[in-house]
Chains A and B, each alone.
Chain A
Amino acid sequence: MFRDAALVFGKDLRLELRSRVGLNQVVPFAVLVLVLFAFALDPDSGVLTRATAGLFWVAVLLAALLAVQRAFSVETSDGVADALRLSGLEPAGIFLGKVGSLAVQLIALEVVLGAGVVLFYGADPTGVGLLVVTALVATLGLAAAGAVYGAIAAGLRVRDTLLPLLLLPAVAPVLIGATQAFEAALDGVPGDGWPWAALLGIFALLYLAFGVLMFGPLLEEA
C-alpha cells in the first residue's frame, strides 16, 4: 500500500513540476484572492489585520478546490483512469499518494500565502510552532477530504460545479479550526490554539481512514 502510495505521489509531483499548472495558475489565483479581500474590506480600517487568519484559510480553501480538480482531471483524461485501475495499484495506495501530492502542493501554496499576508496585511507571525503544526494538520485534513470528494466528482460531466458543493461543507471544520488556531497564535495566546490543532488532527485521521476504506468502491469499474 505504501509503495503504491509512493509511486502515485512521485508521479503526481513530477507531473506537477513539468506542467507547472500549480505554480503558474493556482498560486497566482490565491494571491489574487488576497488582493480581492483588500478591495472588499477597507484596508485602512484594520479589518484585514484582524481577519488575517480567516482570510488566509478562505484563500487556501479556494485554491485547494482548484488543486483538487487538477489532481483528478489528470487522471480522467485519455483513459488514464482505466490504466490506473489496470496497473494493479492498491486503491488505498492511490488515495494516500494523491493526499501526499495534494498536501505538498498546498503547503507550498500556504508558504506563498503566508508571505502574502505578512507583506500585504501586515500580519505579525508570532507563535510559529502552533502556526506550523496547525498548517500541517489542517493541510493533511484538507488534502484527505479533497482526495475523497475529488474522486467522487471525477469524470462526471458536472464535476466542476459539484466539487465545491460537496467539498466546502465537509471542510467547514478545517476552516473553523485552522482559523481559530491561527488567531490564537497571532494574538500571542497559543494555549487557546492547541485544542483546535488537536481537532484538526482528528479530522485528518478520520478522513484518511475513510479514504483508505472508500477508494476501492470509488475507483471500481462502472
Chain B
Amino acid sequence: MTESRHPAEGRNRPGPAGTSSAGTKVLGLVTIAGLVTLVLFAFVFSPADTDLGETVRIMYVHVPSAIVTYLAFALTAVGSAVYLKNRSEFWDLLAWSSAEIGVLFCGLMLVTGMLWGRPTWGTYWVWDARLTSTAVMFLLYVGYLALRRVPGEGEVVARRAAVVGLGAVLIVPIVHKSVDWWRSLHQEATTLGQLDPEIDGLQYFTLFLGMAAFGCLFVWLVMHRFRVAYLARQVESSGLQAAIAERRAEAVGDGSAAESRQTSTSEGVSP
C-alpha cells in the first residue's frame, strides 16, 4: 500500500510476515467477536418468526451478505471511476479486491436465498425478481473477474476492467427494473417484503448485528485482499524486471543466440 506507508516507521523495522497489521488484527478480533455473538443471537436468543418460522434464521446471514455485496460492488464502481480519472494503482487494486469479495458474498446471497426458498416456496429457485436480477448481477461481476485474470496485459486490462466495473453499476438498476417489471406480470413475491411488518424487536437487533459483523468482515477482507493483490503485483513486476535483466545479460554474453531466440519467441506470441 504505497500511499499509506508510514514515514515515521523506521527503515530498520522489519515488515510483517504476512498481510496483517495492528489495525487488521484488532478489526479481525472485533469481527470474530461479532460473528460469535451473531451466532448466539441467531440461534439462541432470537425467537422464530410468526410468518417465516425458523427459516428466519437464514435471513441473519442472507441479508448481511446482500448488504456486503452491494457495498463491495459500489466500492468497485468508485475504485474504477477514480482509476480512470487518475490511473492510480491503489484504486485499481481496491476495485479488483472489492469485486472479488462482492462476487463471493453475492454467491453466498444466492445460495442462502435458495436454501431459504426451498422450505418457504417449496422450490430452490423461483424466477423471483430479486433472485433473477441478483443472478444476472453475479454473472456480470464474474465476467469482470474473468477479464481481470487475463494474463500479461497489465495496464490495458486494468483500464478495460475499470470500464466494466463502472458499466456494471449502470446496468444493474436497469436489469433490476426490467426483471422486476417482467416478473410482476406473474407474481409479486419479494423476499423481504413479507418479512418486514411483523418483525420482532430482537429479530431486528439480530439482523443489524449481522450487518455490523459482516461490515467489519468486509473491511477486514478488503484490506487483506488488497495487500495480497499489491504484493502479487510487486512480485510480478520484479519478476518482469529480473527476466529483462536476464535477457539483457544473455544478449551481452552471446549476441547471436539471444537474437535467434528472440525472433522465435516473438513469432510464438504474435496472434
Give the interface of A toward B (CB within 8 A): 76, 148-149, 151-153, 155-158, 162, 165-166, 168-170, 172-173, 176-177, 180, 195-196, 199, 202-203, 206, 210, 214, 217-218, 220, 222
Count residues of B near A (Cβ-Cβ below 8 Å).
33
Give the interface of B toward A (CB within 8 A): 84, 136-137, 139-140, 142-143, 146-147, 150, 153-157, 159-160, 162-164, 166-168, 170-171, 174-175, 177-179, 181-182, 271
* SS class, residues of chain B in contact with chain A: helix
Give A135 to B164 CA distance when docked, in angstroms.
Answer: 26
Tell me if B174 and A166 are in contact (CB < 8 A). no
Give A217 to B156 CA distance when docked, in angstroms.
Answer: 9
Which of A158, A176, A177, A199 contacts B150 (CB under 8 A)?
A158
Tell me if B163 and A148 are in contact (CB < 8 A). yes
Given contacts A165-B143, A199-B178, contact A217 B167 (CB under 8 A): no
Tell me if A169 and B147 are in contact (CB < 8 A). no
* SS class, residues of chain A in contact with chain B: helix
Give A222 to B163 CA distance when docked, in angstroms.
Answer: 15
Of B150, B160, B175, most buried by chain A (CB within 10 Å of CB) is B160
Give A153 to B163 CA distance when docked, in angstroms.
Answer: 11
**Pairs A–B under 8 Å by Cβ, sample size 20:** A148-B167, A152-B163, A156-B150, A156-B157, A162-B146, A166-B143, A166-B146, A169-B139, A170-B171, A172-B136, A172-B178, A172-B179, A173-B175, A176-B178, A176-B179, A176-B182, A196-B181, A203-B174, A217-B162, A222-B155
Cβ contacts under 8 Å, A153 to chain B: 147
Of A148, A155, A203, A217, most buried by chain B (CB within 10 Å of CB) is A217
